[in-house]
Chain A
Protein backbone atom coordinates (compact mmCIF):
# COMPACT_ATOMS: atom_id res chain seq x y z
CA UNK A 1 0.00 0.00 0.00
CA UNK A 2 2.88 2.29 0.85
CA UNK A 3 4.60 1.72 -2.47
CA UNK A 4 1.25 2.39 -4.16
CA UNK A 5 1.16 5.85 -2.57
CA UNK A 6 4.79 6.35 -3.53
CA UNK A 7 4.19 5.59 -7.21
CA UNK A 8 0.99 7.59 -7.21
CA UNK A 9 2.90 10.60 -5.87
CA UNK A 10 5.64 10.02 -8.42
CA UNK A 11 3.16 9.96 -11.31
CA UNK A 12 1.26 12.99 -10.00
CA UNK A 13 4.54 14.84 -9.52
CA UNK A 14 5.67 14.00 -13.05
CA UNK A 15 2.37 15.18 -14.54
CA UNK A 16 2.56 18.45 -12.60
CA UNK A 17 6.19 18.82 -13.65
CA UNK A 18 5.19 18.54 -17.32
CA UNK A 19 2.61 21.31 -16.99
CA UNK A 20 5.04 23.57 -15.17
CA UNK A 21 7.75 22.90 -17.77
CA UNK A 22 5.46 23.86 -20.65
CA UNK A 23 4.36 27.07 -18.92
CA UNK A 24 7.91 27.93 -17.84
CA UNK A 25 9.29 27.36 -21.33
CA UNK A 26 6.95 29.96 -22.82
CA UNK A 27 7.49 32.43 -19.99
CA UNK A 28 11.23 31.98 -20.33
CA UNK A 29 11.17 32.58 -24.11
CA UNK A 30 9.14 35.78 -23.75
CA UNK A 31 11.37 37.04 -20.96
CA UNK A 32 14.50 36.23 -22.92
CA UNK A 33 13.39 38.19 -25.97
CA UNK A 34 11.41 41.10 -24.53
CA UNK A 35 12.75 41.33 -20.97
CA UNK A 36 9.14 41.20 -19.74
CA UNK A 37 7.88 38.93 -16.98
CA UNK A 38 4.42 38.31 -18.35
CA UNK A 39 2.37 37.50 -15.25
CA UNK A 40 -0.65 37.08 -17.55
CA UNK A 41 1.00 33.99 -19.04
CA UNK A 42 -1.08 31.89 -16.64
CA UNK A 43 -4.22 33.51 -18.07
CA UNK A 44 -3.31 32.13 -21.52
CA UNK A 45 -3.12 28.68 -19.90
CA UNK A 46 -6.54 29.26 -18.33
CA UNK A 47 -8.14 30.53 -21.56
CA UNK A 48 -6.69 27.57 -23.49
CA UNK A 49 -8.40 25.15 -21.11
CA UNK A 50 -11.69 27.07 -21.26
CA UNK A 51 -11.65 27.12 -25.07
CA UNK A 52 -11.19 23.36 -25.18
CA UNK A 53 -14.18 23.02 -22.83
CA UNK A 54 -16.25 25.41 -24.95
CA UNK A 55 -15.55 23.55 -28.17
CA UNK A 56 -15.48 19.95 -26.96
CA UNK A 57 -18.16 20.04 -24.24
CA UNK A 58 -20.39 23.03 -24.91
CA UNK A 59 -20.50 22.57 -28.68
CA UNK A 60 -19.92 18.80 -28.60
CA UNK A 61 -17.28 18.87 -31.30
CA UNK A 62 -14.45 16.30 -31.32
CA UNK A 63 -11.86 16.63 -28.53
CA UNK A 64 -8.83 16.79 -30.81
CA UNK A 65 -10.48 19.42 -32.98
CA UNK A 66 -11.01 21.52 -29.82
CA UNK A 67 -7.41 20.96 -28.78
CA UNK A 68 -6.04 22.20 -32.11
CA UNK A 69 -8.38 25.20 -32.39
CA UNK A 70 -7.67 26.24 -28.80
CA UNK A 71 -3.92 26.25 -29.41
CA UNK A 72 -4.30 28.24 -32.63
CA UNK A 73 -6.65 30.82 -31.10
CA UNK A 74 -4.45 31.36 -28.03
CA UNK A 75 -1.36 31.70 -30.23
CA UNK A 76 -3.13 34.43 -32.19
CA UNK A 77 -4.22 36.05 -28.92
CA UNK A 78 -0.56 36.05 -27.90
CA UNK A 79 0.36 37.97 -31.05
CA UNK A 80 -2.49 40.43 -30.50
CA UNK A 81 -1.39 41.11 -26.91
CA UNK A 82 2.18 41.63 -28.05
CA UNK A 83 1.22 44.06 -30.81
CA UNK A 84 -1.31 45.96 -28.71
CA UNK A 85 0.39 46.17 -25.31
CA UNK A 86 3.85 44.68 -24.88
CA UNK A 87 5.42 46.21 -27.98
CA UNK A 88 5.54 49.67 -26.39
CA UNK A 89 7.34 48.55 -23.25
CA UNK A 90 9.69 45.97 -24.71
CA UNK A 91 12.89 45.81 -22.65
CA UNK A 92 11.34 47.62 -19.69
CA UNK A 93 10.64 45.05 -17.04
CA UNK A 94 8.43 46.90 -14.57
CA UNK A 95 6.12 48.68 -17.03
CA UNK A 96 5.78 45.26 -18.69
CA UNK A 97 4.88 43.80 -15.31
CA UNK A 98 2.16 46.45 -14.84
CA UNK A 99 0.69 45.74 -18.27
CA UNK A 100 0.59 42.05 -17.50
CA UNK A 101 -1.25 42.86 -14.24
CA UNK A 102 -3.84 44.84 -16.24
CA UNK A 103 -4.16 41.84 -18.57
CA UNK A 104 -4.63 39.40 -15.67
CA UNK A 105 -7.59 41.40 -14.35
CA UNK A 106 -9.13 41.93 -17.79
CA UNK A 107 -8.67 38.41 -19.15
CA UNK A 108 -10.05 36.78 -15.99
CA UNK A 109 -13.21 38.86 -16.29
CA UNK A 110 -13.51 38.06 -19.98
CA UNK A 111 -13.25 34.34 -19.13
CA UNK A 112 -15.97 34.64 -16.47
CA UNK A 113 -18.27 36.51 -18.85
CA UNK A 114 -17.72 34.11 -21.76
CA UNK A 115 -17.59 30.78 -19.96
CA UNK A 116 -19.64 31.28 -16.79
CA UNK A 117 -18.77 31.33 -13.12
CA UNK A 118 -19.06 27.63 -12.23
CA UNK A 119 -15.99 25.38 -12.55
CA UNK A 120 -15.81 23.52 -15.86
CA UNK A 121 -14.38 20.13 -16.70
CA UNK A 122 -13.55 18.29 -19.91
CA UNK A 123 -14.06 14.50 -20.00
CA UNK A 124 -11.15 12.57 -21.49
CA UNK A 125 -11.73 11.39 -25.07
CA UNK A 126 -12.28 7.65 -25.67
CA UNK A 127 -8.69 7.19 -26.77
CA UNK A 128 -7.38 8.41 -23.41
CA UNK A 129 -9.86 6.63 -21.14
CA UNK A 130 -8.75 3.77 -18.92
CA UNK A 131 -5.47 2.87 -17.29
CA UNK A 132 -2.15 1.61 -18.44
CA UNK A 133 -0.34 -1.05 -16.42
CA UNK A 134 3.41 -1.57 -16.21
CA UNK A 135 4.34 -4.39 -13.82
CA UNK A 136 1.66 -3.63 -11.26
CA UNK A 137 1.92 0.14 -11.43
CA UNK A 138 -1.19 1.77 -12.84
CA UNK A 139 -1.18 5.04 -14.66
CA UNK A 140 -4.26 6.59 -16.24
CA UNK A 141 -3.92 7.12 -19.95
CA UNK A 142 -4.74 10.83 -19.74
CA UNK A 143 -1.83 11.34 -17.39
CA UNK A 144 0.42 9.30 -19.64
CA UNK A 145 -0.72 11.53 -22.51
CA UNK A 146 0.36 14.64 -20.59
CA UNK A 147 3.86 13.21 -20.21
CA UNK A 148 4.12 12.07 -23.84
CA UNK A 149 2.76 15.29 -25.34
CA UNK A 150 5.10 17.40 -23.19
CA UNK A 151 8.12 15.34 -24.13
CA UNK A 152 7.09 15.71 -27.79
CA UNK A 153 6.79 19.50 -27.39
CA UNK A 154 10.21 19.65 -25.75
CA UNK A 155 11.86 17.76 -28.59
CA UNK A 156 10.12 19.95 -31.18
CA UNK A 157 11.11 23.11 -29.32
CA UNK A 158 14.70 21.96 -29.07
CA UNK A 159 14.86 21.24 -32.79
CA UNK A 160 13.09 24.50 -33.60
CA UNK A 161 15.46 26.63 -31.55
CA UNK A 162 18.66 24.88 -32.55
CA UNK A 163 18.11 23.62 -36.09
CA UNK A 164 15.92 26.14 -37.87
CA UNK A 165 17.14 29.50 -39.11
CA UNK A 166 14.36 31.33 -37.32
CA UNK A 167 15.20 29.52 -34.10
CA UNK A 168 18.74 30.77 -34.38
CA UNK A 169 17.36 34.26 -34.95
CA UNK A 170 15.50 33.92 -31.65
CA UNK A 171 18.74 32.96 -29.92
CA UNK A 172 20.50 35.90 -31.53
CA UNK A 173 17.88 38.38 -30.29
CA UNK A 174 18.03 36.89 -26.80
CA UNK A 175 21.79 37.36 -26.76
CA UNK A 176 21.94 40.88 -28.14
CA UNK A 177 18.90 42.60 -29.69
CA UNK A 178 20.91 45.44 -31.24
CA UNK A 179 23.45 43.22 -32.94
CA UNK A 180 20.64 40.95 -34.13
CA UNK A 181 18.76 43.92 -35.59
CA UNK A 182 21.91 45.01 -37.40
CA UNK A 183 22.02 41.60 -39.07
CA UNK A 184 18.57 42.24 -40.50
CA UNK A 185 16.56 40.26 -37.96
CA UNK A 186 13.19 41.93 -37.34
CA UNK A 187 12.78 42.33 -33.59
CA UNK A 188 9.06 42.96 -34.12
CA UNK A 189 8.52 39.68 -35.92
CA UNK A 190 10.63 37.70 -33.48
CA UNK A 191 8.73 39.18 -30.52
CA UNK A 192 5.39 38.26 -32.05
CA UNK A 193 6.62 34.80 -32.91
CA UNK A 194 7.88 34.23 -29.39
CA UNK A 195 4.61 35.43 -27.86
CA UNK A 196 2.70 33.10 -30.19
CA UNK A 197 4.94 30.17 -29.30
CA UNK A 198 4.74 30.88 -25.58
CA UNK A 199 0.96 31.27 -25.76
CA UNK A 200 0.62 28.02 -27.71
CA UNK A 201 2.70 26.13 -25.13
CA UNK A 202 0.56 27.61 -22.34
CA UNK A 203 -2.60 26.59 -24.21
CA UNK A 204 -1.28 23.04 -24.69
CA UNK A 205 -0.63 22.64 -20.97
CA UNK A 206 -4.01 24.22 -20.18
CA UNK A 207 -5.80 21.77 -22.48
CA UNK A 208 -3.90 18.80 -21.05
CA UNK A 209 -4.83 19.77 -17.49
CA UNK A 210 -8.42 20.58 -18.51
CA UNK A 211 -9.28 16.86 -18.45
CA UNK A 212 -7.58 16.31 -15.08
CA UNK A 213 -8.43 19.37 -12.93
CA UNK A 214 -11.50 21.64 -12.85
CA UNK A 215 -11.17 24.87 -14.86
CA UNK A 216 -11.86 28.21 -13.13
CA UNK A 217 -10.92 31.77 -14.02
CA UNK A 218 -8.11 31.89 -11.44
CA UNK A 219 -6.55 28.55 -12.34
CA UNK A 220 -3.62 30.22 -14.12
CA UNK A 221 -1.95 31.80 -11.09
CA UNK A 222 -0.52 28.59 -9.69
CA UNK A 223 1.35 27.29 -12.76
CA UNK A 224 2.59 30.83 -13.33
CA UNK A 225 4.19 31.15 -9.89
CA UNK A 226 5.60 27.63 -10.16
CA UNK A 227 7.02 28.45 -13.56
CA UNK A 228 8.74 31.48 -12.02
CA UNK A 229 10.39 29.14 -9.50
CA UNK A 230 11.57 26.97 -12.38
CA UNK A 231 13.01 29.91 -14.29
CA UNK A 232 14.89 31.27 -11.28
CA UNK A 233 16.07 27.77 -10.44
CA UNK A 234 16.95 26.58 -13.91
CA UNK A 235 18.35 29.76 -15.35
CA UNK A 236 17.14 32.05 -18.06
CA UNK A 237 16.91 30.70 -21.57
CA UNK A 238 18.08 27.23 -20.69
CA UNK A 239 15.84 24.38 -21.87
CA UNK A 240 17.72 21.69 -19.87
CA UNK A 241 17.60 23.98 -16.82
CA UNK A 242 13.85 24.40 -17.28
CA UNK A 243 13.37 20.63 -17.46
CA UNK A 244 15.43 19.91 -14.34
CA UNK A 245 13.79 22.77 -12.43
CA UNK A 246 10.32 21.68 -13.54
CA UNK A 247 10.91 18.08 -12.48
CA UNK A 248 12.16 19.26 -9.09
CA UNK A 249 9.17 21.52 -8.43
CA UNK A 250 6.70 18.96 -9.81
CA UNK A 251 8.06 16.14 -7.64
CA UNK A 252 8.14 18.35 -4.53
CA UNK A 253 4.47 19.13 -5.19
CA UNK A 254 3.59 15.51 -5.96
CA UNK A 255 5.16 14.06 -2.81
CA UNK A 256 4.26 16.85 -0.39
CA UNK A 257 0.76 16.87 -1.87
CA UNK A 258 0.14 13.21 -1.00
CA UNK A 259 2.12 12.94 2.24
CA UNK A 260 0.88 16.30 3.57
CA UNK A 261 -1.68 18.57 1.88
CA UNK A 262 -1.56 20.30 -1.48
CA UNK A 263 -1.73 23.68 0.29
CA UNK A 264 1.40 22.86 2.29
CA UNK A 265 3.05 21.84 -0.98
CA UNK A 266 2.15 25.20 -2.55
CA UNK A 267 3.38 27.12 0.50
CA UNK A 268 6.71 25.30 0.23
CA UNK A 269 7.06 26.08 -3.46
CA UNK A 270 6.25 29.80 -3.00
CA UNK A 271 8.66 30.07 -0.07
CA UNK A 272 11.23 28.51 -2.39
CA UNK A 273 10.50 31.25 -4.92
CA UNK A 274 10.94 33.94 -2.25
CA UNK A 275 14.25 32.52 -1.05
CA UNK A 276 15.60 31.90 -4.56
CA UNK A 277 14.75 35.42 -5.73
CA UNK A 278 16.71 36.88 -2.84
CA UNK A 279 19.66 34.55 -2.58
CA UNK A 280 20.02 33.50 -6.22
CA UNK A 281 18.85 36.56 -8.15
CA UNK A 282 21.18 35.64 -11.01
CA UNK A 283 18.59 33.02 -11.97
CA UNK A 284 16.40 35.67 -13.52
CA UNK A 285 18.99 38.05 -14.87
CA UNK A 286 21.98 35.78 -14.99
CA UNK A 287 22.98 35.68 -18.59
CA UNK A 288 26.71 35.52 -18.67
Chain B
Protein backbone atom coordinates (compact mmCIF):
# COMPACT_ATOMS: atom_id res chain seq x y z
CA UNK B 1 0.00 0.00 0.00
CA UNK B 2 1.46 3.38 -0.86
CA UNK B 3 2.08 6.01 1.74
CA UNK B 4 -0.52 8.61 0.74
CA UNK B 5 -3.28 6.01 0.69
CA UNK B 6 -2.45 4.67 4.14
CA UNK B 7 -2.24 8.20 5.46
CA UNK B 8 -5.65 9.02 4.00
CA UNK B 9 -7.16 5.83 5.43
CA UNK B 10 -5.72 6.64 8.85
CA UNK B 11 -7.16 10.14 8.67
CA UNK B 12 -10.59 8.80 7.68
CA UNK B 13 -10.52 6.23 10.50
CA UNK B 14 -9.62 8.99 12.93
CA UNK B 15 -12.44 11.22 11.65
CA UNK B 16 -14.94 8.37 11.98
CA UNK B 17 -13.77 7.78 15.54
CA UNK B 18 -14.22 11.48 16.36
CA UNK B 19 -17.68 11.46 14.76
CA UNK B 20 -19.01 8.41 16.62
CA UNK B 21 -17.35 9.42 19.92
CA UNK B 22 -20.47 11.05 21.48
CA UNK B 23 -22.14 7.62 21.35
CA UNK B 24 -19.18 5.91 23.01
CA UNK B 25 -17.73 8.29 25.59
CA UNK B 26 -19.33 9.58 28.77
CA UNK B 27 -20.65 13.15 29.10
CA UNK B 28 -17.48 14.04 30.97
CA UNK B 29 -15.22 13.04 28.08
CA UNK B 30 -17.55 14.68 25.59
CA UNK B 31 -17.07 17.92 27.46
CA UNK B 32 -13.31 17.41 27.53
CA UNK B 33 -13.26 16.93 23.76
CA UNK B 34 -15.34 20.06 23.24
CA UNK B 35 -12.77 21.99 25.28
CA UNK B 36 -10.01 20.49 23.15
CA UNK B 37 -11.83 21.58 19.96
CA UNK B 38 -12.24 25.14 21.25
CA UNK B 39 -8.62 25.53 22.34
CA UNK B 40 -7.44 23.92 19.09
CA UNK B 41 -9.18 26.65 17.10
CA UNK B 42 -7.52 29.35 19.21
CA UNK B 43 -4.13 27.60 19.08
CA UNK B 44 -4.25 27.22 15.29
CA UNK B 45 -4.83 30.96 15.05
CA UNK B 46 -1.89 31.54 17.39
CA UNK B 47 0.25 29.28 15.23
CA UNK B 48 -0.65 31.18 12.06
CA UNK B 49 0.59 34.42 13.63
CA UNK B 50 3.72 32.61 14.82
CA UNK B 51 4.40 31.32 11.29
CA UNK B 52 4.46 34.94 10.17
CA UNK B 53 7.26 35.47 12.71
CA UNK B 54 5.21 37.22 15.40
CA UNK B 55 4.60 36.09 18.99
CA UNK B 56 1.21 37.51 20.00
CA UNK B 57 0.61 37.44 23.76
CA UNK B 58 -2.90 38.87 23.26
CA UNK B 59 -4.36 35.75 21.60
CA UNK B 60 -6.62 34.71 24.47
CA UNK B 61 -7.66 38.31 25.14
CA UNK B 62 -8.80 38.40 21.53
CA UNK B 63 -10.62 35.12 22.15
CA UNK B 64 -12.26 36.94 25.06
CA UNK B 65 -13.31 39.75 22.71
CA UNK B 66 -15.22 37.18 20.67
CA UNK B 67 -16.68 35.62 23.80
CA UNK B 68 -17.81 38.98 25.22
CA UNK B 69 -19.27 39.98 21.83
CA UNK B 70 -21.50 36.90 21.90
CA UNK B 71 -22.30 37.38 25.59
CA UNK B 72 -23.41 41.00 25.16
CA UNK B 73 -25.28 40.50 21.90
CA UNK B 74 -27.20 37.43 23.11
CA UNK B 75 -28.01 38.53 26.69
CA UNK B 76 -28.57 42.26 26.15
CA UNK B 77 -29.57 42.63 22.50
CA UNK B 78 -31.18 39.14 22.38
CA UNK B 79 -29.78 38.51 18.93
CA UNK B 80 -29.82 35.07 17.34
CA UNK B 81 -26.60 33.17 18.14
CA UNK B 82 -25.97 32.44 14.46
CA UNK B 83 -25.74 36.16 13.75
CA UNK B 84 -23.46 36.73 16.76
CA UNK B 85 -21.10 33.87 15.91
CA UNK B 86 -19.64 35.34 12.69
CA UNK B 87 -19.87 38.85 14.18
CA UNK B 88 -17.60 37.71 17.05
CA UNK B 89 -14.92 36.66 14.57
CA UNK B 90 -15.34 39.75 12.40
CA UNK B 91 -15.25 42.15 15.34
CA UNK B 92 -12.14 40.48 16.77
CA UNK B 93 -10.48 40.56 13.37
CA UNK B 94 -11.33 44.24 13.02
CA UNK B 95 -9.86 45.01 16.44
CA UNK B 96 -6.75 43.01 15.51
CA UNK B 97 -6.48 45.03 12.33
CA UNK B 98 -6.26 48.26 14.32
CA UNK B 99 -3.81 46.86 16.89
CA UNK B 100 -1.78 45.11 14.19
CA UNK B 101 -1.64 48.17 11.96
CA UNK B 102 -0.07 50.12 14.81
CA UNK B 103 2.15 47.46 16.33
CA UNK B 104 3.35 45.25 13.47
CA UNK B 105 6.07 47.76 12.64
CA UNK B 106 7.93 46.16 15.56
CA UNK B 107 8.90 42.54 15.90
CA UNK B 108 10.46 40.02 18.24
CA UNK B 109 10.42 40.93 21.90
CA UNK B 110 8.86 44.35 21.25
CA UNK B 111 5.79 42.88 19.59
CA UNK B 112 5.48 40.20 22.29
CA UNK B 113 5.61 42.74 25.11
CA UNK B 114 3.35 45.22 23.29
CA UNK B 115 0.67 42.53 22.90
CA UNK B 116 1.21 41.58 26.58
CA UNK B 117 0.41 45.19 27.49
CA UNK B 118 -2.69 45.20 25.25
CA UNK B 119 -3.84 41.96 26.82
CA UNK B 120 -3.74 43.53 30.31
CA UNK B 121 -5.47 46.69 29.04
CA UNK B 122 -8.34 44.62 27.60
CA UNK B 123 -8.72 42.62 30.82
CA UNK B 124 -8.76 45.78 32.97
CA UNK B 125 -11.38 47.40 30.70
CA UNK B 126 -13.62 44.35 31.22
CA UNK B 127 -13.18 44.79 34.97
CA UNK B 128 -13.59 48.59 35.02
CA UNK B 129 -16.54 49.02 32.63
CA UNK B 130 -19.10 47.22 34.79
CA UNK B 131 -22.29 48.31 33.01
CA UNK B 132 -21.26 46.74 29.71
CA UNK B 133 -18.91 43.90 30.71
CA UNK B 134 -20.16 43.03 34.20
CA UNK B 135 -16.87 43.77 36.01
CA UNK B 136 -15.07 40.99 37.89
CA UNK B 137 -18.27 38.91 37.98
CA UNK B 138 -18.45 38.75 34.19
CA UNK B 139 -21.65 37.96 32.28
CA UNK B 140 -23.64 34.83 33.29
CA UNK B 141 -26.66 33.11 31.69
CA UNK B 142 -25.47 33.10 28.09
CA UNK B 143 -28.01 30.96 26.19
CA UNK B 144 -27.20 27.85 24.15
CA UNK B 145 -27.11 28.37 20.38
CA UNK B 146 -30.56 28.80 18.78
CA UNK B 147 -31.84 25.88 16.68
CA UNK B 148 -30.51 26.02 13.12
CA UNK B 149 -32.12 24.23 10.15
CA UNK B 150 -34.05 22.01 12.52
CA UNK B 151 -30.95 21.08 14.55
CA UNK B 152 -30.94 21.82 18.28
CA UNK B 153 -27.74 22.56 20.22
CA UNK B 154 -28.90 22.35 23.82
CA UNK B 155 -27.44 18.92 24.55
CA UNK B 156 -23.78 18.05 24.93
CA UNK B 157 -23.53 15.61 21.95
CA UNK B 158 -25.10 18.09 19.53
CA UNK B 159 -22.83 20.86 20.81
CA UNK B 160 -19.93 18.47 20.32
CA UNK B 161 -20.65 18.29 16.60
CA UNK B 162 -20.99 22.06 16.36
CA UNK B 163 -17.59 22.59 18.04
CA UNK B 164 -16.04 19.92 15.84
CA UNK B 165 -17.36 21.55 12.67
CA UNK B 166 -15.81 24.86 13.77
CA UNK B 167 -12.47 23.13 14.34
CA UNK B 168 -12.70 21.22 11.05
CA UNK B 169 -13.42 24.45 9.18
CA UNK B 170 -10.50 26.19 10.94
CA UNK B 171 -8.06 23.37 10.21
CA UNK B 172 -9.21 23.27 6.58
CA UNK B 173 -8.66 27.01 6.16
CA UNK B 174 -5.23 26.71 7.81
CA UNK B 175 -4.32 23.84 5.50
CA UNK B 176 -5.47 25.68 2.38
CA UNK B 177 -3.58 28.78 3.52
CA UNK B 178 -0.38 26.79 4.04
CA UNK B 179 -0.65 25.41 0.49
CA UNK B 180 -1.38 28.79 -1.09
CA UNK B 181 0.90 31.55 -2.30
CA UNK B 182 0.04 33.35 0.95
CA UNK B 183 1.35 30.41 3.00
CA UNK B 184 4.55 30.26 0.97
CA UNK B 185 5.15 33.95 1.56
CA UNK B 186 4.58 33.49 5.29
CA UNK B 187 7.22 30.76 5.25
CA UNK B 188 9.69 33.11 3.59
CA UNK B 189 8.89 35.72 6.23
CA UNK B 190 9.80 33.20 8.87
CA UNK B 191 13.07 32.36 7.14
CA UNK B 192 14.18 35.84 6.17
CA UNK B 193 11.99 38.88 6.19
CA UNK B 194 14.66 41.04 4.57
CA UNK B 195 15.08 38.74 1.62
CA UNK B 196 11.35 38.63 0.92
CA UNK B 197 11.25 42.40 1.20
CA UNK B 198 14.09 42.73 -1.26
CA UNK B 199 12.24 40.70 -3.91
CA UNK B 200 9.28 43.01 -3.61
CA UNK B 201 7.02 41.32 -1.06
CA UNK B 202 5.08 43.77 1.08
CA UNK B 203 5.92 41.92 4.29
CA UNK B 204 3.93 44.27 6.50
CA UNK B 205 0.76 43.46 4.57
CA UNK B 206 1.24 39.71 4.89
CA UNK B 207 2.06 39.90 8.59
CA UNK B 208 -1.05 42.04 9.09
CA UNK B 209 -3.25 39.56 7.21
CA UNK B 210 -1.84 36.65 9.25
CA UNK B 211 -2.45 38.59 12.48
CA UNK B 212 -6.02 39.47 11.50
CA UNK B 213 -6.80 35.89 10.41
CA UNK B 214 -5.23 34.36 13.53
CA UNK B 215 -7.20 36.74 15.73
CA UNK B 216 -10.40 36.09 13.75
CA UNK B 217 -10.16 32.42 14.71
CA UNK B 218 -9.43 33.39 18.33
CA UNK B 219 -12.72 35.32 18.23
CA UNK B 220 -14.59 32.33 16.79
CA UNK B 221 -13.10 30.10 19.50
CA UNK B 222 -14.29 32.60 22.10
CA UNK B 223 -17.77 32.63 20.55
CA UNK B 224 -17.98 28.84 21.01
CA UNK B 225 -16.45 29.03 24.51
CA UNK B 226 -18.97 31.54 25.89
CA UNK B 227 -22.04 29.65 24.75
CA UNK B 228 -20.61 26.32 25.92
CA UNK B 229 -19.89 27.50 29.47
CA UNK B 230 -22.88 29.94 29.46
CA UNK B 231 -20.56 32.46 31.15
CA UNK B 232 -17.73 34.88 30.38
CA UNK B 233 -15.45 36.54 32.94
CA UNK B 234 -12.19 38.51 32.82
CA UNK B 235 -10.14 35.77 34.51
CA UNK B 236 -11.15 33.18 31.88
CA UNK B 237 -9.24 35.17 29.27
CA UNK B 238 -6.19 36.39 31.17
CA UNK B 239 -2.56 36.31 30.12
CA UNK B 240 -2.24 32.92 31.87
CA UNK B 241 -4.49 31.30 29.28
CA UNK B 242 -2.38 32.84 26.52
CA UNK B 243 0.64 31.25 28.20
CA UNK B 244 -1.23 27.93 28.10
CA UNK B 245 -1.93 28.28 24.35
CA UNK B 246 1.72 29.14 23.80
CA UNK B 247 2.72 26.00 25.70
CA UNK B 248 0.29 23.78 23.72
CA UNK B 249 1.70 25.07 20.43
CA UNK B 250 5.37 24.99 21.44
CA UNK B 251 5.13 21.50 22.94
CA UNK B 252 3.29 20.01 19.98
CA UNK B 253 5.59 21.65 17.50
CA UNK B 254 4.56 24.80 15.72
CA UNK B 255 5.93 23.60 12.40
CA UNK B 256 2.78 21.73 11.42
CA UNK B 257 -0.96 22.00 11.89
CA UNK B 258 -0.98 18.41 13.07
CA UNK B 259 1.71 19.11 15.69
CA UNK B 260 -0.36 21.95 17.10
CA UNK B 261 -3.47 19.77 17.31
CA UNK B 262 -1.43 17.05 18.97
CA UNK B 263 0.00 19.51 21.52
CA UNK B 264 -3.43 20.87 22.45
CA UNK B 265 -5.07 17.46 22.79
CA UNK B 266 -2.29 15.75 24.72
CA UNK B 267 -1.78 18.58 27.19
CA UNK B 268 -5.49 19.16 27.83
CA UNK B 269 -5.92 15.40 28.32
CA UNK B 270 -2.94 15.54 30.67
CA UNK B 271 -4.60 18.36 32.61
CA UNK B 272 -7.81 16.33 32.90
CA UNK B 273 -5.87 13.25 34.02
CA UNK B 274 -4.18 15.04 36.91
CA UNK B 275 -7.69 15.85 38.14
CA UNK B 276 -7.94 12.17 39.07
CA UNK B 277 -4.82 12.20 41.25
CA UNK B 278 -5.42 11.90 45.00
CA UNK B 279 -5.61 15.25 46.85
CA UNK B 280 -5.96 17.06 43.52
CA UNK B 281 -5.74 20.81 43.81
CA UNK B 282 -6.61 23.09 40.84
CA UNK B 283 -3.46 25.12 41.47
CA UNK B 284 -1.45 22.17 40.13
CA UNK B 285 -2.56 23.02 36.60
CA UNK B 286 -0.22 25.99 36.03
CA UNK B 287 2.60 24.02 37.68
CA UNK B 288 1.99 21.12 35.28
CA UNK B 289 2.03 23.32 32.17
CA UNK B 290 4.84 25.54 33.43
CA UNK B 291 6.84 22.39 34.16
CA UNK B 292 6.16 21.05 30.66
CA UNK B 293 7.39 24.32 29.12
CA UNK B 294 10.52 24.38 31.28
CA UNK B 295 11.23 20.74 30.41
CA UNK B 296 10.78 21.39 26.68
CA UNK B 297 13.04 24.42 26.83
CA UNK B 298 15.64 22.59 28.87
CA UNK B 299 15.79 19.20 27.20
CA UNK B 300 14.51 19.64 23.68
CA UNK B 301 14.93 23.25 22.75
CA UNK B 302 16.24 22.70 19.19
CA UNK B 303 12.85 22.66 17.50
CA UNK B 304 11.61 25.55 19.56
CA UNK B 305 14.73 27.59 19.15
CA UNK B 306 14.98 27.20 15.39
CA UNK B 307 11.45 28.49 15.17
CA UNK B 308 12.09 31.28 17.60
CA UNK B 309 15.26 32.39 15.90
CA UNK B 310 13.12 33.42 12.98
CA UNK B 311 11.03 35.46 15.38
CA UNK B 312 14.08 36.97 17.05
CA UNK B 313 16.02 37.59 13.88
CA UNK B 314 15.97 41.22 13.12
CA UNK B 315 17.22 43.30 10.24
CA UNK B 316 20.91 42.68 9.76
CA UNK B 317 21.64 46.32 10.45
CA UNK B 318 19.83 46.33 13.77
CA UNK B 319 21.49 43.17 14.98
CA UNK B 320 23.44 43.68 18.14
CA UNK B 321 27.16 43.29 17.60
Smallest beta-carbon distance B233→chain A, Å: 15
Residues from chain A with a CB closer than 8 A to the CB of B103 are: 274, 277-278
A147: Cβ under 8 A from any B Cβ: no
User: Do A102 and B308 form a contact, CB below 8 Å, given A113-B283, A284-B109?
Assistant: no
CA distance A144 to B247 in the complex (A): 43
Q: Which residues of B contact A (CB under 8 A)?
A: 55, 102-103, 105-106, 108-110, 112-114, 116-118, 120-121, 124-125, 127-128, 239-240, 243, 246-247, 250, 281, 283-287, 289-294, 297-298, 301, 304-305, 308-309, 311-312, 318, 320-321
B117 touches A97 (CB 8 A): no
Whether, in the assembled complex, A267 has its beta carbon less than 8 Å from a beta carbon of chain B, the answer is yes
Q: Is the beta-carbon distance between B120 and A270 smaller than 8 angstroms?
A: yes
Distance, CA A88 to CA B312, complexed state (A): 16
Residue numbers of A with Cβ under 8 A of B are: 35, 37, 84-85, 88-89, 92-95, 97-99, 101-106, 108-110, 112-113, 117, 176, 221, 225, 228, 261, 263-264, 266-267, 270-271, 273-274, 277-278, 281, 284-285, 287
List the B side residues contacting A92 at CB < 8 Å: 305, 308-309, 312
Give the nearest-CB partner of B135 in chain A: A263
Q: In angstroms, how far is the closest chain A Cβ from the Cβ of B10?
A: 32
CB distance from B128 to the nearest CB of A (A): 4
Interface pair A94/B112, CB less than 8 Å apart: yes
CB–CB B243/A104 < 8 A = yes
Chain B residue at minimum C-beta to C-beta distance from A91: B320
Q: Contact check, A98 vs B297: say whether CB atoms are below 8 A apart.
A: yes
A105 to B312, Cβ gap below 8 A?
Answer: no
Q: Which residues in A have their C-beta under 8 angstroms from that of B298?
A: 84-85, 88
Contact of B297 among A89, A264, A278 (CB under 8 A): A89
Q: Are B291 and A106 in contact (CB under 8 A)?
A: yes
Q: Is the CB of B114 within 8 A of A98?
A: no
Choice from A101, A108, A266, A277 contacting B110 with Cβ under 8 Å: A277
Expressed in whole angstroms, the Cα–Cα distance for A274 and B121 within the complex equals 10
Known: A98-B246, A274-B117. A89 touches B291 (CB 8 A): no
Residue of B nearest to A106 (CB): B290
Q: What are 17 of the A-B contact pairs (CB < 8 Å)?
A: A88-B298, A88-B301, A94-B109, A94-B308, A94-B312, A95-B301, A99-B297, A102-B247, A109-B284, A109-B287, A113-B283, A221-B120, A266-B120, A270-B121, A277-B106, A281-B106, A285-B318
CB distance from A183 to the nearest CB of B (A): 17
Are B283 and A112 interface neighbours, CB within 8 A? yes
Known contacts A85-B297, A88-B297, A104-B243; can you find 19 more A-B pairs with CB under 8 A?
A94-B312, A95-B304, A98-B297, A99-B293, A101-B290, A102-B297, A106-B290, A109-B284, A109-B286, A221-B120, A263-B127, A263-B128, A270-B120, A270-B121, A270-B124, A271-B121, A274-B103, A277-B103, A284-B113
Given contacts A94-B311, A274-B103, contact A37 B294 (CB under 8 A): no
- Asked whether, in the complex, the Cβ of A106 is within 8 Å of the Cβ of B287, the reply is yes
Q: Which of A103, A106, A278 contacts B114 (CB 8 A)?
A: A278
CB closest residue in chain B, given A281: B110
Q: Is the CB of A93 within 8 A of B108?
A: yes
